[in-house]
Amino acid sequence: FTDRKGKTPRRPGQRKQCNIEKDPVGVYCRIRPLGTEDEECCIEMISSSTIQLHAPDGLKANRNGEYKETQYSFKKVFGVNTTQIELFEDVGKLLIEDLIQCKNGLLFTYGVTGSGKTYTMTGSPGEGGLLPRSLDMLFNSIGPFQTKRFVFKPDDKNGMEIQSQVDALLERQKRDSQQSVSKIPSSRQKADPEIADMISSDDACKVENVDEDSCYSVFVSYIEIYNNYIYDLLEDAPFDPIRPKPPQSKILREDQNHNMYVAGCTEIEVKSTEEAFEVFWKGQKKRRIANTQLNRESSRSHSVFTLKLVQAPLDADGDHILQDKNQVNVSQLCLVDLAGSERTNRTRAEGSRLREAGNINQSLMTLRTCMEVLRENQMCGTNKMVPYRDSKVTHLFKNYFDGEGKVRMVVCVNPKADDYEETIQVMRFAEMTQEVEVPRPVDRPICGVAAGRRHRNQAFRDELSPIPPCELVDPADDQMLPRLIEVLQRRHHTRQMIIEEFNKTANTVNSMLQQFDSQLSSKGNFLHDQQSKLSEKDKVIVSQKTEIERLEKKSKTLEYKIDILQKTTDMYEQDKRTLQHELETRDHRLHRELSDRRRIEQHMQGMVTDTRLKWEKECERRVNAKQLEMQNKLWVKDEKLKQLKAIVTESSPAQRPERPTRERDGNIAQKRSASPSPLPTPYPPASTSSSTSSSAYPSVASCISKWEQRVPVDSRSQARQPGTPQYRTQTPAPCQSTSSMGRRKGQRWAPDTEAPTTPLVYGLNLEAGTRVSVFHPIHRRSHSAGGEKWVDHKPSSNLDVDTVMQPIIPNAIKVSTPNEKALSKCHKYVLRHQELASDGEIETKLIKGNVFKTRGGGQAVQFTDIETLRQECPTAPSRKRRSGSAERPAHVKNKVIVKTMLILSCHINV
């Protein structure tokens, strides 16, 4: 036979059952007593199901250093005074009852190293733990119903086989012949004194509802998981003193029912509590323990002691086991003592001890991860894969969490202050485990043979007296035959009594059957009457059914007509809604077109009005310009005529008329409207003595010399000639008289300075007959200029008008968007705002304010003033008088403005 299974067979997908009953994992807590009374305690038992943890002195429970208390609830909490029997009554007794009822169970202890896990599981002399008490209860319950040895035999595939009586007898004889070298302790041998008084007779308990028609047999196995390897503690390996071999690790396999088991593990059949506990003690001596800083005998591995109960029903006679392998039920209870989690900084482990601690903590962490994934899948409805295979512990017991039995956990805690941080982690794991639900195991079917077989067989045997030995040694023996005859007669009498009892019972049964027959006949007659009534009722029901069918057909016809009418109504309603929507759409379109037409008409009227005003202004401007041009030409001609008249008058002094007085000249000048009068002289008139010495009319030479003396000494005016680039300015300034310009610039008259070759009179070139515009840019300081620092807020949407006069703010921070950093550095704020004026020109407003700090640490602006910058056409009438307007006639001013084209003036209004 070759084993061709190279890998664990894949488990087929199970169908999801809708109504699966689930039970939460039962978690209990046991508190270990303190070593000394002076030792500080960090655990307080609040009630029978709640404990409270408080941080010891000198330990900060959280980052703030405040006192922090935490409460945890369990199914039941066992205090320091709890006895082993009380613990077993609440935890282990129900598992033994389920074991006898063919249900699996898992019980494991969990906690920090030195918290009392091994004591809870094993106990001490006189105070047996969960394991010895479970064995005692099991054997007390099934003791009288156990089979002989070797009737059941393991098949090395996690199953059991039934051997015939002959094979079982041969196995027993072979065992008896090897009693001298037997390795399996017998129940008749004297027990180990260390474990002899584990359980007293007063604490013995048993299960009452045991099936007496079945035969039972108990098999035990004991393994340990060390460094994530599985070792058999009951294996008797040959010992070689020369070259000792280390024990071989076992592997996990999956049986045909998809249950995990340890392949090749030793399973020993035991018949009593003492024998089973001796087997356990034998394996316990091989378990790996070590001395650490926290525990003198610290378990370095996880131990698993398995109780496997095999039961099979008796045959119909109640004498032998039913030879049917399908009727054999195997249930098991795993008692697991997990190694304690520990921190290396406390145990100061090194070398192999450090590696052992790392593997222990890793396996416990895997167990915690599996519990977290199970809880998440159950709470959130997810289907995440549970990492059972990451550790041998979780892989071995994954069937229990999938619904193969009940799961119980005893959390052992040490209340001393040094274990406070580890105890918090244990409590969190226990609290999370309680939220995991395990499917409830399903009851297995019971054999269909009548009950009470064993009792009847035993009663029959008790009634038949045994036949004495029938050996006749002496022919003269007259006692044997009478005794034999007496026994046979008694047996015959007993048989007769049994026959009579059987006949009585048969008669009773026959009478009962006859009574039942009569009752059945009466019942039959009653049923016949009821059937006739039912037939009548059936006819009525048939007639009613036909009427109902007719009404249903009529109802369906009416419903069909209603559906047609409803569809027609819906169609009309849809058409109505469509037409209404179309009508509303057309109304909206018509209103929109009317509004568009009105808007277009208004726009066209505005355009016509703007165009008419524009052409009116343009015509007026052209007329004024032409009028000024003609006036200038007329004025030039008039001046030439005056000069010519002066020359002619000087050439003939005898015929010169008397010069009129100054008042008369003024009146004549006012009467002349064709040519404007010249500007008045800024100097006082000449003395009377000079006028008396000369003639009444001045000569041409004297007039020319006077005009030349009026020109100021200015290097820039001397250097500039008509036609040079300085005269071709893009934005000319208003032209003023030479006298006024001299006074503004602070210049003086120099009579000794040479006059230019071409004399300039009021900005006119007399030789060329044209007028030259004089450009003198005048800078005016804005009201915003000062010693303070300004925030010059000029939005990016503003336009540059490129005019000559622009506000200049020195020592300012220019920004396009105000920010807190700029406001914090300045004391003043100005905003340049542009908008269209009523005449269509761009108007710039300077909105000024003071910057001050607020209580919240920010900046605020309080506006105090507004300056307006506006572009105006010089030909338009103005309310303000310009400088020199009082000294110059209106027609001269208009002449100057015509030659300078368009002047952009900046008026600052506060």
Cα dist. 164→113, 212, 223 in Å?
Answer: 49, 21, 30
Mapped to the 3 state alphabet, what secondary structure does 379-412 carry? HHCCCCCCCHHHCHHHHHCHHHHHHHEEEEEEEE
Helix (H, G, I), strand (E, B) or coil at 38: coil
Question: How many angstroms separate the CA atoms of 240 and 11, rounded?
Answer: 42
**111 is annotated as contributing to ligand binding:** yes
**116 is annotated as contributing to ligand binding:** yes
Tokens of 743: 């006074």
Q: What is the CATH number of domain 26-58+67-169+194-439?
A: 3.40.850.10
DSSP symbols for 46-96:
-SSSEEEEEPPTT--SSTT----EEEEE-SEEE-TT--HHHHHHHHTHHHH
Question: How many angstroms separate the CA atoms of 402 and 546, rounded?
Answer: 56
Question: How many angstroms separate the CA atoms of 814 and 806, rounded?
Answer: 15
Helix (H, G, I), strand (E, B) or coil at 578: helix
Question: How many angstroms separate the CA atoms of 520 and 682, rounded?
Answer: 159
**92 is annotated as contributing to ligand binding:** no
H helix intervals, 110-249: 117-121, 130-142, 165-177
Tokens of 597: 């037409």
pLDDT of amino acid 587:
94
Q: Tell me the torsion sign for CA atoms 296, 298, 300, 306.
A: positive
Neighbours of 315 (CB within 10 A): 16
pLDDT of amino acid 821:
82
pLDDT of amino acid 765:
40
**112 is annotated as contributing to ligand binding:** yes
Give the chain's residues under pLDDT 50.
1-18, 180-190, 293-294, 653-701, 703-704, 707-708, 711-784, 878-910
**Cβ(394)–Cβ(371) under 8 Å?**
no
Closest CA to 96 of 279, 405, 441, 333: 333
**Cβ(97)–Cβ(136) under 8 Å?**
no
pLDDT of amino acid 717:
38
Tokens of 195: 């474990």
- What residues does each domain of the chain span? 26-58+67-169+194-439, 790-796+808-871+895-909
pLDDT of amino acid 131:
92
What is the largest distance, in Å, between two alpha-carbon atoms of the chain? 228
**117 is annotated as contributing to ligand binding:** yes
Question: How many angstroms separate the CA atoms of 598 and 604, rounded?
Answer: 10
φ, ψ (nearest 5 deg) of residue 852: -140, 160
Q: What is the CATH number of domain 790-796+808-871+895-909?
A: 2.60.40.4330
